[in-house]
Amino acid sequence: MKELHIISFNYPYPPSYGGIIDVYYKVKALSDLGIKIHLHCFVDRIPEKIDPEVQSITENVLFYKKKKNPFLYFSSTPFASVIRNSDALFDHLERIKAPILFEGLQTTKIIDQLQKKEHKLFLRLHNNEAEYYKGLSFSEKNLFKKIIYRLEALKYKGYQKKRLKEFKAVFCLSEKEYQETELYSKNAKLIHLFHGNHQVKTLSQKGDYFLFHGDLSTADNKKAAEETIKVFKNLPQYSLIIASDRASDDLKKKINTIENISLVPIENNKNLNRLFERAQANILLSYQNTGTKVKLFNALYNSRFVIINQNITDDPSLINLCLFASNTKKLRQHIIDVSEKDYNENEIRKAILERNYSDGPKAEAMVKIIFTN
């Protein structure tokens, strides 16, 4: 049986946000192909138990606590990477000789110890981290955080150049990152995001409201929510639901003053799917150009119309399934237009999504690359 080490930046359950969704459903898809997975997770706090959903798709799960030393901010290595290092991880990797898949550049500090060892190294590139932290710096209002993000962006710029050439293959999420990696290190492979959706949901022609969902503790999502709120505040005839488990008190107060906007918790995937099923359209905005967002797949598989801006995806096939709003004026007009439209796109989506974006074929492509002698 083929074995594979996967080093994750966090424990991938529940699969409730972008990168972790990709990790969890990738592990599941690889496990379905018979790959024996040794899952290594960096965490703030070691869980008391391993969830049965993770246990059933892994050979074993090992945890390592992220370092808490604030002086590591002054390291020349990016903070997100230097805190994810462990001698115990090195020992575990040495005990079982198998290829290693690193989930994100933030898990790759251990490579310094592995240089002369016999491991085939692979990277799942979740972001161009230098661009990601630069974007966070622009979106962040807190001055201290803005400076920290900017420094992290500068550190990653050099770190990426050093690291990317050290892998047999770099699995990129988006066309943009594929082109950047291939130009620099010639080892890029385009493997789209793992998302766990299997079939496009068949829905009635009309929904009841507009939906915005996301983790509102991140600067990018918070900015996107505030821009969406501004638009709907001036469109009182249309209802907007903002679904999130992490909204600040300021944002809650703002939403409470606007009659046509309500904030609801997500809590679990079942609740989120219910919200998708009743939505007439989804508003997906981002101010960071970091490839296709997982929330786009969730909306396209499980809901009706999807309105996006230019940073949600750079994939032409996915853009064609959405309504594109390059500015606030166009977003407003799409909201007005789509409120009256019947949704009749199930078959179009099935033809494109189920044929080209299913998790199984992506896992098969990775297996061929990783286990080629």
User: pLDDT (tens digit, 9 = 90+) per residue, 154-167?
Assistant: 999 999 988 999 99
Q: What pLDDT band is residue 269 in, cutting at 50, 70 and 90?
A: confident
Q: What pLDDT band is residue 15 in, cutting at 50, 70 and 90?
A: confident
Encoded tokens for 100: 């290693």
Same domain, 127 and 20: yes
Q: How far apart are CA 39 and CA 36, in angstroms?
A: 10
Encoded tokens for 189: 């492979």
**Amino acid, res. 250:** D
Q: What is the pLDDT of residue 115?
A: 67
**Amino acid, res. 142:** N
CB atoms within 10 A of CB 282: 26
Same domain, 188 and 234: no
**Amino acid, res. 292:** T
Q: For the chain, what is the mean pLDDT?
A: 93
Mean pLDDT lowest among 45-49, 197-201, 245-249, 270-274: 245-249
- The mean per-residue pLDDT over the stretch 114-119 comes to 74
User: pLDDT (tens digit, 9 = 90+) per residue, 303-335?
Assistant: 999 999 999 998 999 999 999 999 999 999 999
151 exposed, middle or buried (CB, 10 Å; 0-12, 13-18, 19+)? middle
Which residues on adjacent β-strands are paired with residue 262?
A: 241
Going from the C-alpha of 191 to that of each of 33, 170, 172, 367, the distances in angstroms are: 16, 9, 6, 12
CA-CA-CA-CA torsion sign (92, 94, 99, 100): positive
Going from the C-alpha of 285 to that of each of 83, 165, 213, 341, the distances in angstroms are: 31, 33, 10, 21
CA 151 from chain center: how many Å? 22
Q: What is the pLDDT of residue 116?
A: 63
Same domain, 19 and 99: yes
Same domain, 12 and 89: yes
- The mean per-residue pLDDT over the stretch 33-54 comes to 96
Residue 352 has what DSSP assignment? I
Q: Are 225 and 214 in contact (CB under 8 A)?
A: yes
Q: How far apart are CA 181 and CA 191, in angstroms?
A: 13
Residue bearing tokens 């944002």: 251
Q: Taking the model in full, what pTM does it have?
A: 0.86
Encoded tokens for 86: 């462990």
Same domain, 244 and 332: yes
Residue span of the structural domain in which 335 resides: 209-355
Phi (first) and psi of residue 197, to 5 degrees: -85, 140
Same domain, 159 and 284: no
Encoded tokens for 301: 């598989």
Return the CATH number at 232: 3.40.50.2000
Q: Is 46 contained in some domain?
A: yes
Residues in the chain: 373
User: pLDDT (tens digit, 9 = 90+) per residue, 57-93?
Assistant: 999 999 999 999 988 988 999 999 999 999 999 999 9
Count structural domains, the chain.
2
Same domain, 119 and 168: yes
Same domain, 163 and 214: no
User: pLDDT (tens digit, 9 = 90+) per residue, 202-239?
Assistant: 999 999 999 999 889 888 899 999 999 999 999 999 99
